Structure 1
Amino acid sequence: MMTTTEAVKEQDSKTYTKEDIRQEVQENNVEFILLEFTDMLGETKNVELPIEELDLVLDDEAMFDSSSISGFSEIQESDMYLVPDLDTFLILPAMVDEDRSARFICDIYKPDGTPFEGDPRYILKRAMKKAEAMGYTVNVGPEPEFFLFKLNDEGYPIRKMNDRGGYFDSSPKDKGDKVRRDIMRTLKKYGFQMEASHHEVAMGQHEINFRFDSMLKAADNIQTFKNVVKDIATNHDYHATFMPKPILGENGSGMHCHLSLFKDGDSAFYDEDAKDGVSRTMKQFIAGILHHASGIAAITNPNVNSYKRLVPGYEAPVSVAWSHSNRSCMVRVPTTRGKGTRFEVRNPDPTANPYLALAVLIQAGLEGIHNELDAGEAESRNLYEVDDDSVPTLPTNLKEAIKALRKDPVLLDALGDHTSKAYIEDKEAEWTEYSLQVSKWEMDKYMNN
């Protein structure tokens, strides 16, 4: 895992060859190689090798035991290969005792040389290939939010926010400005194109925006972003959490995803002849996402706590509808037109596995285009104030979402048989574990009965 607040060599996105990598490793006195990958639940994992094993890594021969990795293989078929994506090569800063390390983000392969079907990165690549087969490329701009909490004397987080600031507040109300600046400085040195940072609505809540990118690069960036945020926060004596709803009565943290679609270099979402500038293709793509919204939620809102954010009154979407500027809907179309035409999916939260979340969103959207689904008219009402059944709503808990996923063949196909089965089993177990807990609220409410 990346750990730095020190100076990092500025590296622009580029295509690397094996010889490029060998040369940079030698010039920078690299001693260790980190091979990163992501498990089914979205946790970043890594294996560290000494630099003497670089040729083994570059020859795709780095093996690891996957039997203890969530969503991977059984003990009897646990040997897997970490195959580095050379374009993710990155020289990391000096760490302990001035050691230098390099990082690769890896794909997972089986011993027979085929991709492991449960690798989240492979699942997203399959979705991207489906888009390419239809002539499309997809770009994504994610907006992950996070909270900063204080640490106790032993370095563990406590339930006290780092400040009591609000939306767009400045110092001294905003006490996270220095943390955000350090995060932005570090991310720029990792090749991110930064756009803005600010204090969010809730106390202790923050957002840092970075530029859109291709689906795969965006998912990789989300994982890198989360690691850097947590590391920089710790160095400022704070704990960063991407938990969707850590504070009762406050807005939760989302990870809004802005999606744009291109064909032959032009926006497939823009229609200059349409009254609203939105193409039929875009409305069909939106319709696909709305049609599969309940099952998608099991992936984009993956845990028990996720659904405590998706409640009326806290700016998170509840209604399965689309709009132009209406933020009470699950999908919103910003005013930008031309090549910047896009829509924002507002329900995902930052605990989602980004590879799986983007895979199900794109597969559902492409299904909408393929079947020419109808998204209906854009919603103009404030749906937080609509108290009827005229607009469908997102699941109210993880159990409902998993039930919807289990019945959705399009999403199950997007995940593949291996991950579908493992994911549903894991989340059903999580719901059962949660259901057996007795909370403080229950004790306070019912103890005197």
Structure 2
Amino acid sequence: MDQLDQHTRDERRATAEGLLPDLEDAGVVGVALPWVDTSGITRVKTVPLAKLPSAAAWGVGMSPVFDGFLLDDSIVAGRFAGSAIGDLRLHPDLSRLTLLAGQPGWAWAPVDRYTQAGTPHVQCSRSLLRRLVAELADDGLTVRGAFEIEWVVADPDGLPEDPDAFVPALSGPAYGMTRLAEVSDYARDLLEALAAEGVRVDQFHPEYAGGQLEVSVGPEDPVGAADTALLVRNTITAVSAQHGLRVSFSPKVTADGVGNGGHVHLSLWRDGENLMSGGDGTFGLTAEGEAFTAGLLGHLPGLLAVGAPSVASYLRLVPSHWAGAFAAWGLENREAAVRFVTGPDGNRQSSANVEVKSFDLAANPYLLMAACLAAGRAGLRAGGTLPDPIGVDPASLSEEGRREAGIHPLPATLEEAVRAFEADTALAEAFGEELHATVVDVRRGEIALFENTSPEGVCRATRWKH
């Protein structure tokens, strides 16, 4: 993105002023301006409706210190983050302005972060993602993506002796119709709210863990997909509060339970053709589709520092739990880190995609989508090819069998993932020196925060943060 000049500022102000009458008629009194920090926490500033034109033109001030925040609101003294010095401007993207159906009187618009001089902030994850989308477009390529959102609903009062304990608000069996009946009114209100916000929901269903639900949405351009992930989570939280429920998106809510995933679906397109289908490669992959997928698979160890960014993430990322703990790919294999999805016969051209299962919702969705694009682009540049797909749970193979198949375990700790991220030159190049360093510094800050903490202690400390 170019520097904001006066003409652009005037256009943004005029656009906002044109929106004011309809927003006033809808009863809007304030606009939420959210961004996601390096640790995956959504932060926000708000403006009264009358101030929206000014915010659109000149932004809203905020400190760059948030780049160094940890999930407990402590601050790392990073190489390029964590200082109290300086100021940034939050500029709302009015093309995504949305009336919040779960929060009457409020509208919502995600922001890009700029310097006082009107240039994109080098650590703005949304700006990074927009840049990578543009670079792929220069090569004639587009990506469609979507996030799956899993969460648990809990009794807001916890246990009498421990209000912060997790007590599932649902008692029905995994995927059971009885569980849906328990939350029938809640689910109805949630689907109505998402529809009112323009979110295209593909599926809603009870999931495996106690109190767990999932919503899947339709694919969009990468920036839109990350925006929608943010909006969906905010709406889930708001509607849950209306129903007296507490929610958690944490990758591991209890040490002995199944965690919440944040799987990412991606497909690569050129000239309106889905490159994950119609080719001569395995399962119909084109050469470019295979190279993009090979980039994701090959860079997955480093990607985990972005997509599984919490100490708690590695309590979830274990074998034989459908989390994708091994660097492998396969057709509809839910134990492979990269699951290839063809879609039904007759609809493959529009629906074929790859799902990366190792990620969770502690991730900043903009950073994660950007990292995926960088990895896929590296695969394209290298003309990458995929190993043979695997049709079994990799954990069922012997170590020798996995070695012969070229299957390796993914990092088992956040520290291992951070080391892989530090060594990944493609991700370092895409992120730039300052943001790459800050991801490392913040991750190591969380590692230090939970040093010598038990798994249950980690779960307890992160349970209500995401």
Q: TM-score, normalising length from structure 2?
A: 0.84
Residues 1:421 and 2:431 aligned together: no
* Contact 1:322–1:378 (Cα < 8 Å) also in 2: yes
1:23 corresponds in structure 2 to 21
Residues 1:201 and 2:208 aligned together: yes
From the two aligned structures, give the one with the greater helix fraction.
2
Residues 1:144 and 2:142 aligned together: no
* Contact 1:35–1:48 (Cα < 8 Å) also in 2: yes
> CA distance change for structure 1 residues 180 and 404 in 2, over 3 Å: closer, same or farther?
same
Give the CA deviation at 1:198.
1.0
Structure 1 stretches lacking a partner, 5+ long = 1-15, 442-449
* Contact 1:180–1:208 (Cα < 8 Å) also in 2: no
Give the CA deviation at 1:246.
1.6
* Contact 1:245–1:306 (Cα < 8 Å) also in 2: yes
Residue pairs, 1:90-169, within 5 angstroms: 90-92=98-100, 100-152=105-157, 156-169=163-176
Number of residue pairs matched by the alignment: 423
* C-alpha distance in 1 between matches for 2:295 and 2:101: 44
> Secondary structure at 2:231's aligned position in 1?
helix
1:52 corresponds in structure 2 to 50
> Secondary structure at 1:344's aligned position in 2?
strand
* Contact 2:263–2:355 (Cα < 8 Å) also in 1: yes
Higher relative contact order (CA 8 A, sep 6+): 2
CA offsets per residue over residues 392-419 of structure 1, 9 Å max, x none? 1110011110111111111122222222
Give the CA deviation at 1:51.
3.0
> Secondary structure at 2:166's aligned position in 1?
strand
> Secondary structure at 2:131's aligned position in 1?
helix
Out of 172-181 and 197-206, give the one that drifted further. Answer: 172-181
Give the CA deviation at 1:149.
1.8
1:87 corresponds in structure 2 to 95
Give the CA deviation at 1:119.
0.9
> Secondary structure at 2:329's aligned position in 1?
strand
Aligned partner of 1:116: which letter?
H
> Secondary structure at 1:36's aligned position in 2?
strand
* Contact 2:68–2:82 (Cα < 8 Å) also in 1: no
Residues 1:289 and 2:287 aligned together: no
Aligned partner of 2:107: which letter?
A
Segments ≥4 residues shifted beyond 6 Å? none
Residues 1:271 and 2:278 aligned together: yes
CA offsets per residue over residues 119-159 of structure 1, 9 Å max, x none? 11012112212211221111112112111221218995422
* Contact 1:151–1:158 (Cα < 8 Å) also in 2: no
* C-alpha distance in 1 between matches for 2:175 and 2:455: 34
Residues 1:188 and 2:195 aligned together: yes
2:341 corresponds in structure 1 to 334
Give the CA deviation at 1:328.
1.6
* Contact 2:81–2:438 (Cα < 8 Å) also in 1: no
Residues 1:305 and 2:312 aligned together: yes
1:322 corresponds in structure 2 to 329
2:462 corresponds in structure 1 to none
2:3 corresponds in structure 1 to none
1:406 corresponds in structure 2 to 422
Give the CA deviation at 1:194.
1.3
* Contact 1:329–1:383 (Cα < 8 Å) also in 2: yes
Give the CA deviation at 1:69.
5.2
1:41 to 36, 39, 42: 39
> CA distance change for structure 1 residues 77 and 217 in 2, over 3 Å: closer, same or farther?
same
Residues 1:368 and 2:368 aligned together: no
Residues 1:344 and 2:367 aligned together: no
Out of 256-265 and 174-183, give the one that drifted further. Answer: 174-183
Alpha carbon RMSD of aligned pairs, Å? 2.4
Identity %: 25
CA offsets per residue over residues 348-368 of structure 1, 9 Å max, x none? 111111001111111101110
* Contact 1:149–1:158 (Cα < 8 Å) also in 2: no
CA offsets per residue over residues 61-113 of structure 1, 9 Å max, x none? 43333335546855464211111211011234696xx8x33322111110111
Out of 227-236 and 194-203, give the one that drifted further. Answer: 227-236
* C-alpha distance in 2 between matches for 1:275 and 1:364: 20
* Contact 2:101–2:197 (Cα < 8 Å) also in 1: no
Out of 289-298 and 244-253, give the one that drifted further. Answer: 244-253
> CA distance change for structure 1 residues 280 and 193 in 2, over 3 Å: closer, same or farther?
same
Give the CA deviation at 1:436.
3.2
* C-alpha distance in 2 between matches for 1:249 and 1:93: 35
* C-alpha distance in 2 between matches for 1:419 and 1:263: 30
* C-alpha distance in 2 between matches for 1:33 and 1:361: 31
> CA distance change for structure 1 residues 18 and 29 in 2, over 3 Å: closer, same or farther?
same
1:5 corresponds in structure 2 to none
